[in-house]
Each structure stands twice: as C-alpha cells, then as structure tokens.
Chains A and B, each alone.
Chain A
Amino acid sequence: MIHTIYGDAGRLFVIVAFVSALVATFAYFKSVISSTRLDDVPVWKRFARGAFFLHAAAVAGVVFCLYWIIGNHYFEYHYAWDNSSLSLPTEYVISSFWQDQEGSFLLWIFWNVVLGLVLIVTNRSWEGPVMAIFALVQAFLASMILGVVIPGLDLKIGSTPFLLLREALPDIPVWQTNPNFIPKDGNGLNPLLQNYWMVIHPPTLFLGFATTLIPFSFAMAGLWTKKVTEWIRPALPWALFSAMILGVGILMGAYWAYETLNFGGYWNWDPVENTSFVPWLVLVGTIHVMIIGRKNATALKTSFILAIATFVMILYSTFMTRSGVLGNASVHSFTDLGLSGQLLIYLMTFVVLSVGLLIYRWKLLPSDEKEVSTYSPEFWIFIGATLLCLAGFQILATTSIPVYNAIAEGFGKILNLALPTDPIEHYNKFQIWFFALITALTGIGQFFWWKRTGEGKLSTLYPPLLITLILSAVFITLGEVRTISYIVLLTAAVFSIVANGTILLNIIGGSYKLSGGAVSHIGLALMLIGILFSSGYTRVISLNNSGLMISRSEEFTKNDNKENKENVTLWLNKPSQMGKFMLTWRDVRVEPRYVPGYIPKGWVEIIENDFHAVALRDIVVEDKTYYKTGDTLEIYPENFYYEIEYREPSGKIFTLYPRAQINPRMGLISSPDIQRKYNKDLYTYVSMVTNPLDEGKWSATEEFTVAMKDTFFVNDYVAILDNVVRTDQVDGVQLGENDAAVKAIIRVLDTDHEYVLDPSFVIRNRTVGRKAQVSNELGLRIQFNEINPQTGKFTFAVNTKQRDFIVMKALEKPLINVLWLGTFVLTLGFLMATVRRFRDFFKNQKRELVAETVKPKKRTPQQV
C-alpha cells in the first residue's frame, strides 16, 4: 500500500510553514515601523507571534511526517528509499533524515524555529525587529523545500523531500507494469557515513549556522530601530554561543575526517570545509569588536559590518555547497537540485537589505573624536579582529575560484581556472603568519585589556617574553623544529599560553566569570602547537624497502630511492619489516552486530545482498558462545577489517584493524585504525585490497603424478610429497565404520617459511570423495585425485591463483593530542564567556524591567 497521506500532509505543512513565515514577517514588520499607530503595535505583535507559532507547529509537522516516512521504511517515498534501508540501525535511520539536501534544509529550519521561540520568550523588548528578520529567513528556507511548480511558467520553487519514488524517477520501466510498485528495501545510508559522527556532527553544525542569524538580526534591528549601541548587549552572548557551536561543529567534522573518512588528515582545505571555517573566523572577529563596540565608535561600525559579513558568509557558503557551482572542486558537496537561482536570490536579498540599511543609517552612527591610542586595548583587539578577517579573506579568495569561472561564463568568457594543486602550501603561505600574529596578539591584547601594560610600562611584558623565549628554545631544540615559519608560530603560541596564563593566574585570580577570554586563547595556542607538530612533522612509517622495488628504472632510483615509496605490500601471513616494526597481515575480519569486536571472515558465510550471515562454526569470543554452527547472525555486510599485527623491537605485539568497505555505490572505501599514545598517533590504513568477497580466479587444473618423497613445482614453489597417512577425521565429512580416508602430507617451501597442505582422499559408501586443501597464503589449491596401487604413485590436481595481499600505509602523527586538548580548552573558554555574557544580559534586562515598571508609578501622581 502506498501511504500517500504522510507525503500529502508533509507538503501541506511545508506550504503552511512558508505562508505563515511570510505573514509573520509582515506582521512583525508592521509592529516596528513608525507609520503603525502606537495603539495597534501590540495587536500586530500578538498577531505576528501567533503566525510564528503556527509556523513552528507546521515545521514540527513537516519534521514529523518526514521522520514517520523514514522511520517506518515507506520506500514508496524517494527520500526514504534513497537514504535509508531496513538493515540500518536506529541511530542511522535518524541521521538519514539529514543526509540529503532537503533534510538538511529542514534541520536548519527546525533550529531556527527553536531559536526564534527562545528569543520570543527571553527577549520581549527586541522581539518585533529581530523576529521580522527571523521570519523572513524562515520564509526563504521553507521555499527551498516547497517543491511547487508554478503552472504556466514551468518554474519550480524548491525541492520537496516528499516525492514518491514514481514521481522522482518516472523513467524506470517498472511503473508501466506495476504503478504501485514499492521497493523491498532502500539504498541505505552511504556506509562511509555510518558512524556516530553522522548522528551528531550535522545537527551541531547546522545549529552553528542557524545561530549566526541572531547577531545579524540584532545588528539589523539596532540599525532599524536606531538603537545603534544597545543591540550589542543582547547579541553578544548569542554571538559567543554561535562561535562555540559552529567551532565545535567544524572540529567534529575535522575529527571525523581524521578518525574515519581518511581524507588524509583532519583538514583537507576542501571548499566545503573552508566555507564553514571562513564565517567562523569572521564571527570571532565580530565578537572581539562587539566587546569594545560600546566604547569605541570605529569598533561599533566594524561590528555592524562583521555581523552582516558573518551571516552573508553563511549564505554564500550555502550557495557554494548546494548550487553545484563547486562541481569538480569538492569531494563532498551536494548535487545540484536546481535551486541555484533560488539560493542566489536568497543571498542577494540579504546582501542588499543589510548593506542598504547600513548605508542608510551610516550617518547616525557615532564617530570617534580623536584617534585611538596605540597603548589602548581597543587598538590591539581591533588589529586582532582585522587579522582574523584577512585570514578568512585569503581562504575565501581561493575557495571562490569555481565561482569566478561561473561568473566569467555568465559574461561569455571561458576562464578555466582550477584550485591550486597544492592547497597546503598555498594556504600555509599566509595562514601560518596570520595565525602566528593572531595568537601573539591574544597575549598582548589581554595585557592591555587588563591594564597590565600600557604607555610607559611596557616593561611588564618582559617577564612573559623571557619565559617564552626559554620555553620555545627548549621546544625547538627537542622537537627539532628547523623551518623558520614553524619556529615563529611555535614561539607565538608559547607566548600566548604564557601571557594568557599569567593574566589567568594574576589578574583574574581564578574568577571563572572573567576567564573565558584567556582560557579560549590558551586553547587556540594549544591547537596551533598540535597542528604544527601533527601536520608539519607527520612521518611515513610504511616506507617500502622490501627490495621488491623496480630497481632497474632510473625513475625509482633517483632522489636516493626516496621517490614515493610510502605504501607497502603485505602478503597474507608473511611478516615484513617496516621501520622498527615487524608487520604481518593476519586475516580479514567481519563485524557482527551483537558480538564484541571483529571475527574472522572464515567463521561465517555472508548472505549476498543481505545483512545476515550463517555461522560456519561456533562463534566464541572471550569464552562466551554467541552463536552455534548454522545459526544466522546480523552483521555489517559492508565492513571488512584487515588484521595487521605490529611487532615492536621489544617483542611486544599490538594489532590494528584498518577497515575497507565494499559498497556497490562507492566502490572500495578505506578507513584508518589508529594506535593512540599520549604523545603520538600511529595511523594505519589500507590503500588497496583485493575484494574480500571475490574468490579470485583459479588457473586451469594441472595434474601431477608423483611418488612418495618426490619433488614437484607448483605456483613457482617447491613442493614435496612427504607422506600419505590414514586418517579418521576429515573436516565436513562423517566417516562410517566401513569408510576409509587417507591424507597426503605435502610440504610447500616458500622463501622463508614452510607450509603443509593435507588434501584428503575418502572412500565412503563405496564412492570416492576428495577434500581439497586451499592455502590463501600461497594462492594454491591441491586436490588428492587418485591413488594407483600398481605404480605406487599418487595424482594431485593443482590450481593456482594470485596470492592475497594488501597495500597499506602507516603514518606517525606526533602531538596530535595537543590539538584535541586545545579544542576542549577553546570550547570551555567560549562556554565560560557565553555564560558570563548571558548573565550580564539577564541582569541588565531585569534592571530595565524594574525601571520600566517604576516609571508609570511616578507618572500616576502627575495625572492626578
């Protein structure tokens, strides 16, 4: 049965959400503008609030409908079919909600509703203008998932998540024979995304995106209602909250990339990463100028510009990642849904509105009477904010290259520009210096801010400088840092820690209310140190020195044999030396759902196109029997783990399990396994594997007839028939009383190892049975074919195939934990600052409320 009701309801709710957002925008607008009669203001406000509540309810309805469709596996819907499947565990069913573009828009809309409701409740005095902006944004966002075609114009507005499969893919022939066809199962979530980060990272990031709207709305409201300085107090805590959430969201993505996605590290300079990082940089700049904006007019003007810029950057980032303009340039942008025009209108509307309003009100903004002193904290904070914006500008200028092409194309020119081939070098050329300066300024700025230093007492900066020089010298020597830019960055970061630490201890004296700034600065400095060492001093351990290299070619011998030999080939069960480790690839393992760890692939037979497997033996892990032979168990069918044994020189052994996923849609995808030590990570991944589901091609059968102790050559190995003995046990064969079995003992000599294969020859119920022996290590299959009692010779059938191997790479990333520690400290600092500014806001609001309630009392006697 096709459940059309949920899709219809969903579409209706989207339309209601869109219309109610427009109504709320208009009503809130009316409640603010001066042409509205004063008596009517509360009426408009109440009406607008009602419209926004209706909008909130409609959004809740849309979310519910989409969840219901996905959660109940209604595969007649394209969204459910495309993003979910029966085998998907609950948490990933939830996250398949935001895998596609429509769902992620919906997530964004949902967060905006939540934030809007919070603002209505907590901030009545700013409700009108702020919510007018909010509602307008909501109308634009809701229009993205409308999916309405305007008749006559053939114009499609938005893309709905409630398309039925037959509407989404009308060309599939099945509809002609069976219009009510419902697929049995869905495509499922991309296996690479089946990770707990997929559950938590997108909602966090979208909350970050959504919250940038708040400082923007307050800035707009401030300009609109001419409260040009008052907007800062309510906006600042939200700006801090936004920077915290957006930062955490970005870092979650970075950690996810490092831990699972194997993009080669935590940061790939991918356009999608960059376009969320740039708004964050600008937002942090905004926060800094907002803090000084009430004292300094230049900073106030800059606050407006940057609050607008942050939000516009978010819109621009949305446009870039969702319009298809990135095309080839990004690994993980969305595909084009035909929304480019709509996204561009959304972007341009807010650019024109905000910039226009700012220009219109510019004369109203105060100006500084005299120039700011070099010894004032404002000067230093301002420089810091400027540098943050320049750092953002540099990233943006490069990331926008595909946009330049698109613009040139619009003018009929072909630009053919491509992103720099070495992004790391390109960005670092600027970013290292920018961040060295920024982190150094955090220290200097704090000293000026707390009046620790100033005109005539610059000498107070000497002690932290001295400590910094000593510490840096030690770190540079111990860490063998030789690159000038690295030395500068390290010194600046150490200075930041020392200076901010001094402030933290001496001035603030443990008052956690005021420590937010110093703590987050220390966090940033720690992160920079972690990034410097883990990225700048990554060491490849898997240098290929096996001697198997093509030595004849000059190409490989130049550069002292160092030309790209960073991957090693490992043969099954053959140890090879890699750096100080002895490495052995032991086995391929699979991941059962309700058994701890991974089990050897040979223990189960995976059912094709299903998420079940049949146990070929009792599945016993740590003395507990989970399944008996023949039981069916649930597994993650795409995941294969390569058991790689590391033997340290001391003889200590540890095992890593890098993963390869086999998925018809994505091919083979590799994810690393990491051995974590306090001072470094050992990062291992397979760069190539033979398909574990593919048995490989056996060669044509070759027959050997040999006598006892004879030698013969199989697959380039020397084999010796050592003996033929009687046996009572043959795997998988029940031997009766009158049955007989013999097995041949064949020794196969490899260069450094001896293998024994024992194929059996069975006479059971007067028929001959042959049990072949397979060695994947040797790529050899031997079957005991015949015994000739007259000649005393034995015949064996031999097949050969490519031996199993993997190609892997191992890296050592020093001090990466300093980076993660830094992210925690940074987040903590933001949290402390956010709490402080919220308290400040509420305290002030209370004071204002008291003042307001006192006023009418004063007025009463006058009236009498």
Chain B
Amino acid sequence: MKKSHIFGIGIIAVAIAIIVSTAGDASTYVNFTQAEKMATNGNKGSIHVVGKLKKDASGVIQEMAYQPEIDPNYFVFTLMDNDNRAQKVVYRSPKPQDFDKSEQVVVIGKMEKDHFEAEKILLKCPSKYNNEKLETTEYQAAQL
C-alpha cells in the first residue's frame, strides 16, 4: 500500500471518530417528562430543558429560594416546561443576577429522583429598550 493511501485512511478514520464523538456528546432539547424517562432508562447524558418560571397571577415568581446567608451555593426554583409541567430545579451555585427578569430559562443538567439537577442555566431576558431583542446570558455551576 502506498504511503498516501495509509495517510488518507488515517485522516478518514480520525474524521469519523470526530463525527461519532460529536454525535455522542451532543445534548438534546427535551421536556421534563422525556427527561424523566431518560433518567429511569439509565441514560446518564446531560440534557437541555426549555421553560418558564412559575409565576402567580400578578407575576410574582413562585417556589424559588436562595439564602446566601445560609448557603450561597444552593439555589432552588420551579420551572414550567413547554408542556406546562412544573419541576423543582436545583442549581448548586449562586443565583444568577438577572434571573428574576428572565422570560425564558434553559436548564442544562440531569433528572434526579425528585428534582432536576442543573449544571448550567441559560437566561433570555427582555431588553429594557427594545422588545424585539432578547439577550441570552449563560451561567454555569462551578465544578470542583
């Protein structure tokens, strides 16, 4: 076999490995029901869930707690996914600063027994000046 053939095969092999790993590591957008199913099926991968904060009629956020005086690294809130299923979400990092203003929240993480464990939170906040623009910010729970 010519060297250039070996070389070519090598490149193709690496390229395939790259594509396979990309497909394997890529996360997916799901709702909480699907997330739960995945967790019970033993699927350990992290997933994205898009949702809105639970609010009462006057727009006050419900079931959210952050007590930095007790533990600055524990933030819990309730997220309604696109099918309106409410789910307790735990985020082991300080509460993102503009969390209360967010219109849409994307939580990235895993479903646990009774809650969703978020590793990362993406927020979409309405811009004060221009309602057409939504700005996203990213927060990540720190890992030790």
Contacts and interface: CB of A to CB of B under 8 A. Distances in A.
Given A330-B136, A418-B48, A419-B27, A544 B72 contact: yes
A340 interface: no
A807 B70 CA distance: 11
B18 A397 contact: yes
Contact of A328 (B70, B122, B144): B122
Contacts of A401: 22, 26
Interface string A485-502: 000000000000000000
Interface string A42-86: 000000000000000000000000000000000000000010000
Contact of B21 (A335, A417, A426, A805): A426
The contact size tier of chain A is 35 or more
Interface in A385-434: 386, 390, 393-394, 397-398, 401, 416-422, 426, 429-430
A565 interface: yes
A616 interface: no
Contacts of A421: 27, 45-48, 108-109, 119-120
A429 B21 contact: yes
Interface in B130-144: 130, 133-138, 140-144
Contacts of B27: 417-421
Contacts of A567: 72-73, 93-94, 142
Interface in A327-341: 328, 330-331, 335
Interface stretch (B35-43, B54-62, B95-103): B95-103
Interface residues of B, number: 58
B138 A549 contact: no
A665 B128 contact: yes
B35 to A, nearest CB: 13
Contact of B18 (A394, A419, A670, A805): A394
Nearest to B109: A421
A264 B72 contact: no
Given A665-B128, A667-B97, A688-B72, A566 B142 contact: yes
A117 interface: no
A562 interface: yes
Nearest to A373: B3
Contacts of B3: 371-372, 374
Contacts of B124: 328
Nearest to A803: B69
A331 B136 contact: yes
A668 B94 CA distance: 13
B33 interface: no
Contacts of B143: 564
B142 A670 contact: no
Interface in A439-482: none
A169 B132 CA distance: 10
Given A264-B140, A549-B71, 11 more contacts: A374-B3, A390-B11, A398-B26, A418-B28, A422-B46, A422-B119, A430-B21, A566-B93, A569-B72, A803-B69, A807-B68
Interface of A: 82, 169, 187, 264, 298, 328, 330-331, 335, 371-372, 374, 383, 386, 390, 393-394, 397-398, 401, 416-422, 426, 429-430, 540, 544, 548-550, 556, 562-569, 664-670, 687-688, 802-803, 805, 807, 809
20 contacts: A169-B130, A298-B4, A330-B136, A390-B14, A393-B15, A394-B22, A401-B26, A416-B28, A418-B27, A418-B29, A419-B27, A420-B25, A421-B48, A421-B109, A430-B18, A548-B69, A566-B142, A667-B97, A688-B68, A688-B95
The 9 A-B pairs at the shortest CB distance, nearest first, are namely A667-B98, A421-B46, A668-B97, A564-B92, A420-B25, A687-B94, A418-B27, A807-B72, A416-B29
Interface of B: 2-4, 7, 11, 14-15, 18-19, 21-22, 25-30, 45-48, 68-74, 92-95, 97-98, 101, 106, 108-109, 119-120, 122, 124-125, 127-130, 133-138, 140-144
